[in-house]
Structure 1
Amino acid sequence: MIIVRTKGTGSIHRDAKEIALCISYFKIQRSRPKVVVMGHSTGCQDVMEYLCRLEVSQQADGQLDGAILQAPVSDREALVIIMGKDAYDRSWKHAQRLIKAGRGGEIMSAQITLDVFEAPCTASRWYSLSSPLHDGDDDFFSSDTPLENLEATFGKITPAKTPFLILYSGADEFTPRSVDKKALVERWIEVCRRFGVNVDVVNSGIIEGATHNFAGCPEAVVKDFLGRVGRFLKTIEGGLEGGGLMSKV
């Protein structure tokens, strides 16, 4: 299994192309018959970029056998929690001004971003993560995402038969308290099903009591997560074709 995280000086499109190279390496050079990719947090954007925006010709040699989103929170909504609304607004507007001035590759000042990232972050990437205008490349998971945007992402997963698992932490500290996590995930799943995406409706859902990265979680919570992932992987190992996971509804 390839686990994906990402940083602030690149782009999710670059990340997705690098994921394709990794998958090809394991499929061909290492002769691994099954490859599943898991994205954690911001890494979930990379997985989505690979599945729904990367041209088929750019995808890996040898089809991806499964994809998992673990803690797919909205970075935009998380930034408001971390920074406070005023500092957040100043940050994305500053990034927008830099981009309009042709300086999208410029590193954002740590005084503006409040050291949210351990690594430097360009204006373009910060805007992609933080824009409230629904135009950021990273903005897959915000609770206020318009339906047409979801249809262009969750509804465009390619190939649609790729087994797909969504696991959202029930006590994720980076999700606003006002967000109904269960309804949010169900909305994504409904779009997937409507467009024929092979989403695992049995194991996808909320991991009750789970924090963003499972820090401090009871053993039962971790076992719930591992159990869902294990069952998902066993289904893939069993070789079910597209629709096999959905057929369990």
Structure 2
Amino acid sequence: MQLKGLTSLARGQPGILHHITPSLVSFEYTRGVIRKPHTLIFVGGLGDGLGTVEYLSDIVQALEPTEWSVFGLVLSCSYGGWGMGRLGNDIDEIAHTVNYVREYKTPQFGPGKVVIMGHSTGSQDVMHYINCPNPRPAHPIFDRDWIPVVRPEVDGAIMQAPVSDREGILWVVKCGTERDSPETMRKIYNKAVEDARRHTYEDHNSVDTLVPLSVTGRIGYPTSAPVSSRRFLSLVSPESPEKPEEDDLFSSDLSNQRLEDTFGQVGKRGLLRQQLLVLYSGRDQSVPPWVDKEALLKRWKSAIDVHGKQFWSPHSMVIPNASHALSDSDQKEPRRILVERMTRYLHDILQG
């Protein structure tokens, strides 16, 4: 029986399951007919896992006749684990995957290109990968026995729907919900921030505390996903824009100095060999109406190209009418544009 409304990934897609490490896996979408020396590593957003981003099926189909294969990466914080995760751990796992891909493919096909792509909060992983010190700084609590990971260079990087979690939450607080008025939402939000600050860790500062599910569920997070006080404060970044937290990379009110400290560091780190492609959704449900998307992309371009080399891909754009994950019923044209921009960008990557 054929099920209607399912993507090709949901119906079944051939490929290879790779064990990157004993606890880290990735699925390579490939039929094994054409040599595939080049790789696109895909990282989803909060709550995503293997095959949960629908437009990935369009990308896989478009790249099927090419020499590119797609690795769908399942991070340790995928699915419901995002509330306990952190960007530093994510980029370590991406680094392991890049190394694995090169070690796996080079003996078969020779050197190939590797591009990392993030959807939504996966975009924060991509930006963190190419802009922070290498190896990254250790977390004072969770990295006491951590072995530093030196991140390998990547040929390209793509950010799709790089939205601000902080501005998304503030929009919910400002507008209220069907259950709670804006005044009630503000009280809930303020108390959650206050409690998270006061009790971020417990057991001699060795483990995370959790924000009650009854609170996170009312401000927009799934009630099935536990969120630590640490990650909550990073996502909502209550002292922004003056003192943004780690996850606050894409807010529209961030200072030029903050953009210099993030986008502006890409050239200095030397981890991005070619260019960054940014595909912002023009009708993103997670973006408040006060955000000027075109102006925001111009600021990012100015920040990343500040040191002479042109890291901003000319194929970057705000995709008209695109929703956050391009999953609505009217997204055929936005998905076509996304795939077109991506394939042209990957062609540029091959040209070097």
TM-score band, normalised by shorter chain: 0.7 to 0.9
Maintained 8 Å contact 2:158/2:276: yes
Q: Give the secondary-structure state (helix, strand or coil) at the position aligned to 1:37.
A: strand
Q: Equivalent residue for 1:70? A: 160
- Residue 113 of structure 1 pairs with residue 216 of structure 2: yes
1:58 pairs with one of 149, 167, 176: 149
2:69 equivalent in structure 1: none
Name the CA shift for 1:59/1:39 in 2 (closer, same or farther; >3 Å): farther
How far did 1:38 drift? 0.7
What residue is the counterpart of 1:232 in the other structure? 345
CA deviations over 1:65-117 (Å, ceiling 9, x no partner): 11001000000111123454513333333222222874871122111111604
**Residues 115-157 of structure 1, C-alpha deviation per residue, up to 9 Å, x if partnerless?**
6044221111110001131331000001111111110000001
Structure scoring higher RCO (CA < 8 A, sep ≥ 6) equals 1
What are the residue-to-residue correspondences of 1:12-27 with 2, within 5 Å? Answer: 12-27=87-102
Structure-1 residue corresponding to 2:182: none
Q: Which structure shows the bigger proportion of residues in strand conformation?
A: 2
Tell me by how many angstroms 1:195 deviates: 2.7
Give SS of 2:315's match.
coil
TM-score with structure 1 setting the length: 0.87
Identical columns (%)? 34
Q: CA deviation at 1:171?
A: 0.4
Instruction: From the superposition, tell whether residues 103 and 176 of structure 1 become closer, same or farther in structure 2 (CA, over 3 Å).
Output: farther
Question: Residue 150 of structure 1 aligns with which residue?
Answer: 259
Pairwise CA RMSD of aligned residues?
2.1
Larger radius of gyration between Structure 1 and Structure 2: 2
Select between 44-53 and 87-96 the one with higher mean Cα deviation: 87-96
Q: Is the 8 A contact 1:165 1:204 kept in 2?
A: yes
> How far apart are the structure 2 equivalents of 1:204 and 1:29?
31
Q: Which amino acid aligns with 1:49?
A: H
- Give SS of 1:91's match: helix
Distance in 1 between the 2:322 and 2:281 partners?
5
Q: Corresponding residue for 1:247?
A: none
Counterpart AA for 2:211: M
Q: Which residue in the other structure is 1:172 paired with?
A: 284
The 8 Å contact of residues 68 and 165 in structure 1, kept in 2 or not, is answered as yes
Runs of 4+ in 1 over 4 A off after TM superposition: 100-104
For each residue in 1:157-182, what CA deviation from the matched residue of structure 2 results, as whole angstroms up to 9, or x when unmatched? 13254321111100001101011011
Q: Please list, as runs of the form range in 1=range in 2, the aligned pairs for 1:189-204 lying within 5 A after superposition.
A: 189-196=301-308, 198-204=310-316
Shift of 1:237: 1.4
Residue 124 (structure 1) aligned with residue 230 (structure 2): yes
Quote the Cα distance in structure 2 between the aligned partners of 1:8 and 1:98.
16
Q: Normalized per residue, which structure has more helix?
A: 1
Distance 1:145 1:77 in 2: 11
Taking structure 1 as reference, are residues 124 and 106 closer, same or farther at Cα in structure 2, changes over 3 Å only?
Answer: same
Per-residue CA shift, 1:174-193, capped at 9, x if unaligned?
Answer: 10101101101111011111
Which among 76, 93, 116 is matched to residue 37 of structure 1? Answer: 116
In structure 1, C-alpha distance between the alignment counterparts of 2:88 and 2:189, rounded to whole Å: 24
- Distance in 2 between the 1:131 and 1:89 partners? 12
1:14-36 per-position Cα deviation (integer Å, ceiling 9, x unaligned): 11111100110001133261111
CA distance in 2, matches of 1:131, 1:103: 22
Q: Quick check: 210-219 or 113-122, which moved more?
A: 113-122
Instruction: Give the equivalent residue in structure 2 for 1:244.
Output: none
User: So what's the TM-score if we normalise by structure 2?
Assistant: 0.63
Question: Aligned letter for 2:100?
Answer: Y
CA contact under 8 A between 1:92 and 1:131: conserved in structure 2? Answer: no
The one-letter code matched in structure 2 to 1:74 is S
